[in-house]
Amino acid sequence: MPNYYNKTNLSDLRDLPQSLIDTWVDVNNPKLQEWIPAPPKPSPDAIWDNGHWVIPPPPSWTAEEWLNKEGYNSTALVTLLDLNGKLIAAGKSSVKLNAVKNWTDGMIASYAADPSPKSDWTNAPYGFTETTKEVVQILGS
């Protein structure tokens, strides 16, 4: 169904069935003059705004918000720090914990260089649960 917008109320965007438009044409309905075909939606994220499509900017997060979104809140980070200390004391290491540590170090360095919110933070290499399970397994062996 094509989108049409009302030329007297540009925020009024509707899907009008082609059969309705055809009927208006057949009977010369004056409503036909009120509705203008809208241009195609340029992206799934686009929002109709007073007669045109607007593509919103990607969401952005602070470093802390991104860490939380990735499952690494402050409690999780302290837990990993504690587990890392236990691994060091036992003379052992964890590939997943090292990867997460490198990721958080990169987050800290990026934040230190520019603390403004960003939309392109990198994803954590491993989830918190997956990482802690590996560490507990290594410590138990």
Q: Please report the pLDDT score of residue 1 as a whole number.
A: 56
Which residues partner with 36 through β-bridges?
Answer: 5
Gap between the Cα atoms of 5 and 10, Å rounded:
6
pLDDT score of 59: 83
User: pLDDT tens digits, residue range 50-84?
Assistant: 989 999 888 899 999 999 999 999 999 999 999 99
Q: What's the rounded Cα separation, in Å, for the pair 74 and 68?
A: 8
Q: Could you count the other beta carbons within 10 Å of the beta carbon of residue 141? A: 7
For residue 84, list its beta bridge partners: none
How confident is the model at residue 57, as a pLDDT?
86
β pairing state of 3-6 and 52-54: unpaired
- Determine the pLDDT at residue 67: 95
Residues of the chain with pLDDT under 50: none
Residue at token pair 């009120």? 34
